[in-house]
Chain A
Amino acid sequence: MPEAILNFQNVSKKFGHFQALDSVSFQINRGDIYGLIGENGAGKTTIMKLITKLSPLRKGSISLFGETSSHYQQALKRTGAMIESPAAFKNLTVVENLKIIAKQNGLQSKKAIDDAIDFVGLTAKKKTKARHLSLGQRQRLGLAMAVLPHPDFLILDEPINGLDPAGIIEIRHLLYKLNHEQQTTILISSHILSELYQVATKFGFIHHGKFIKEVTKEELDKEKTAGITLEVNDVSKAAEVLDSSNIKPFSVPNDHSIFIQKADLDTGHLSQLLVMNGVVLNGLSKQEGSLEQYYTQLMKKTDEGDQRD
């Protein structure tokens, strides 16, 4: 059985009358890179703040490394986090800020600080005051602060916010390395789903404070729909042709394209079939199923379900 690092059970959170979280339950196991997905205001940050006790827990239970939330001070020592914007003392340099984190965590090693700076690619800015860092550099400093004490569990709230493409790739490698070399379990949220897809091994979907669904990457790869998009002049005619040739299922996203939810068709044959039946084919593209698409469909289903209730 996999070892649970975090167990979130029936946690609800209200801000005044606003129900920010509604009986959320999920579990993160050792070695997971758990991606939290949800729209703005879905409740991702709230979940992270509850785990790290920045927000008081009133309903439900959370356990971290097997300790329950009423007293998991020790568990928090094994946890690193960067929640919402990274925080640093503005008048202190990169190294000084990291030294403070090291002292707070009782770390002695000077090398660990250099390693962390190197890890996030801030070596050139070691002696720069935090206030003079760029947005992405500040983000990197925040990451360095979170990983410095070598946490067993790392919580990152939109860590690639503001990073350049190279930075995004570096962070991806960094997380991969932490996960593989130090067996760090990671909880991460991001709005850049294509990126999250490349990093995470499990995905949890939150919508309006409710935990909708959890899938592993393998399940997602099976479920998410790959297919072929056709650009045509006459969709109804094209639909007829596909219907009569028993090519199904397909959908019509707009009045000039058709999406066939099947990835293994012979495209040469398909285009020939359409053209021979008098359909003008303007384009044909194979489409990998994406996390984005999966998410959109899931949200659509959920909202439709809500309306039926």
Chain B
Amino acid sequence: MINQLRADAFRLTRLTGFYLTLLLVIGYSALITKTKSVGGIMADANENVLHHLAHSNWSIIDGIRGLTMSASVLMYVLMGLFVIIIGYEFSQQTYKNTLISGISRFQFILAKYVMLLLTILVNITIYFLTVIVTSLVLNRKLGTSWGHLLQTASITTVTVAFFISIVFSIAILILMLTSSVIISSIFIVIFPLAISMFHVDANWNWLTYVDFFGASNKVAMGTLSPSQFGPYILTCGIILVICIGFSLLAIQEKEL
């Protein structure tokens, strides 16, 4: 599995798509920080906070909050990673080489998920680093202590990255079931929209725990403290196990 991770890491460094993703993430982050305009898909945005963000001079901590609220858009940028890391294996049939190299199906699926998680984490880290750097360049105030700022930034980084990786794990399962990179990509596009729509319109409260961006917004606002993560982590863990488990079953039964 380590071998496969190495191979994929090498492959990423050779693809323009990977660098383009990084550039887009940096550009998007810098743009929002500079223009102070929050964008994204939000179901239950806190009006007060939005109001505050729209009118105040952003401190750096405001920047982190604004960026967290805008993170759902990153899905569309990071989707490219999904296509490169696992989509290409199927669209270009290189899974034949990969699977014959002696990697087990379980290791294959897991390696792909881990690779996605790692690259997402790298991108989100850069996303938040860009806020801090841009804010410093713009001579903005900290708005809090460095310690609190970095803590908030790292918690939101991990939360957002993990949440996005869960959506991608569902997309992996869809790819295994349908063999279609297009269908699984469409899922990634629709997921945040659908969840926030149902969450608001149908008032399905259980959706709270899969409304990942709603959750990360709350984290950013400080209305959801790490001690209340329990149900979210549990939900994500269950989804992850189910997706990897069923992906494994699907790929074992598949005519490749």
Count residues on chain B whose CB falls below 8 Å from chain A CBs.
27
Of A25-33, A47-55, A180-188, A192-200, the segment with at least 4 beta carbons within 8 Å of chain B is A47-55
Tell whether, in the assembled complex, residue B14 and residue A92 are in contact, meaning their CB atoms are under 8 Å apart.
Answer: yes
Residue B148, interface by CB 8 Å: no
CA distance A149 to B100 in the complex (A): 11
Q: Name the B residues within 8 Å of A54 (CB-CB).
A: 96, 99-100, 255-256
> Chain A residue with minimal CB distance to B91?
A90
Tell whether, in the assembled complex, residue B93 and residue A73 are in contact, meaning their CB atoms are under 8 Å apart.
Answer: no
Residue B34, interface by CB 8 Å: no
> Chain A residue with minimal CB distance to B251?
A56
Known pairs A56-B253, A104-B4; A74 contacts B102 (CB<8 A): yes
Measured between C-beta atoms, what is the minimum distance from B31 to chain A in Å? 28
Q: What 0/1 readout, one digit per residue, does chain B (5-16) give for beta carbons within 8 Å of chain A?
A: 011001100110
Residue B98, interface by CB 8 Å: yes
Measured between C-beta atoms, what is the minimum distance from A271 to chain B in Å? 56
Residue B97, interface by CB 8 Å: yes
Measured between C-beta atoms, what is the minimum distance from A89 to chain B in Å? 6
Q: Name the A residues within 8 Å of B104 (CB-CB).
A: 73
Tell whether, in the assembled complex, residue B7 and residue A104 are in contact, meaning their CB atoms are under 8 Å apart.
Answer: yes
Q: Name the B residues within 8 Å of A56 (CB-CB).
A: 252-255
Known pairs A54-B96, A87-B94, A89-B88; A100 contacts B3 (CB<8 A): no
Measured between C-beta atoms, what is the minimum distance from A91 to chain B in Å? 6
Tell whether, in the assembled complex, residue B3 and residue A87 are in contact, meaning their CB atoms are under 8 Å apart.
Answer: no
CA distance A106 to B14 in the complex (A): 19
Tell whether, in the assembled complex, residue A53 and residue B92 are in contact, meaning their CB atoms are under 8 Å apart.
Answer: no
Residue A68, interface by CB 8 Å: no
Contact residue among A73, A89, A104 (Cβ-Cβ distance under 8 Å from B92) = A89
Q: Name the A residues within 8 Å of B14 (CB-CB).
A: 92, 96
Q: Name the A residues within 8 Å of B145 (CB-CB).
A: none
Tell whether, in the assembled complex, residue B256 and residue A89 are in contact, meaning their CB atoms are under 8 Å apart.
Answer: no
Tell whether, in the assembled complex, residue B11 and residue A100 are in contact, meaning their CB atoms are under 8 Å apart.
Answer: yes
Residue B103, interface by CB 8 Å: yes
Known pairs A73-B104, A89-B11, A100-B10; A145 contacts B3 (CB<8 A): no
CA distance A145 to B96 in the complex (A): 11
Residue A237, interface by CB 8 Å: no
Contact residue among A73, A77, A89 (Cβ-Cβ distance under 8 Å from B94) = A89
Residue A103, interface by CB 8 Å: yes
CA distance A80 to B4 in the complex (A): 17
CA distance A73 to B101 in the complex (A): 9
Measured between C-beta atoms, what is the minimum distance from A159 to chain B in Å? 14
Q: What 0/1 readout, one digit per residue, does chain B (218-256) give for beta carbons within 8 Å of chain A?
A: 000000000000000000000000000000000011111
Q: What 0/1 readout, one digit per residue, does chain A (51-95) give for beta carbons within 8 Å of chain B?
A: 011111000000000000000011011011101010111111000
Q: Name the B residues within 8 Å of A42 (CB-CB).
A: none
Measured between C-beta atoms, what is the minimum distance from B4 to chain A in Å? 6
Known pairs A73-B102, A74-B102, A96-B14; A105 contacts B3 (CB<8 A): yes
Measured between C-beta atoms, what is the minimum distance from B158 to chain A in Å? 28
Tell whether, in the assembled complex, residue A101 and residue B10 are in contact, meaning their CB atoms are under 8 Å apart.
Answer: no
CA distance A81 to B11 in the complex (A): 21
Q: Name the B residues within 8 Å of A105 (CB-CB).
A: 3, 101-102
Q: What 0/1 readout, one digit per residue, does chain B (75-91) give for beta carbons within 8 Å of chain A?
A: 00000000000001000
Q: Taking beta carbons and an 8 Å cutoff, which residues of B are in contact with A?
A: 3-4, 6-7, 10-11, 14-15, 88, 92-104, 252-256
Q: Taking beta carbons and an 8 Å cutoff, which residues of A are in contact with B?
A: 15, 49, 52-56, 73-74, 76-77, 79-81, 83, 85, 87-92, 96, 99-101, 103-106, 145, 149
Which 3 A-B residue pairings sit nearest by Cβ, starting from the closest?
A77-B102, A103-B7, A87-B93
Question: Mind listing 23 A-B residue pairs with CB under 8 Å?
Answer: A49-B255, A49-B256, A53-B99, A54-B255, A55-B256, A56-B254, A74-B102, A80-B100, A83-B96, A87-B96, A91-B15, A101-B7, A103-B3, A103-B6, A104-B97, A104-B98, A104-B101, A104-B103, A105-B3, A105-B101, A105-B102, A106-B3, A149-B101
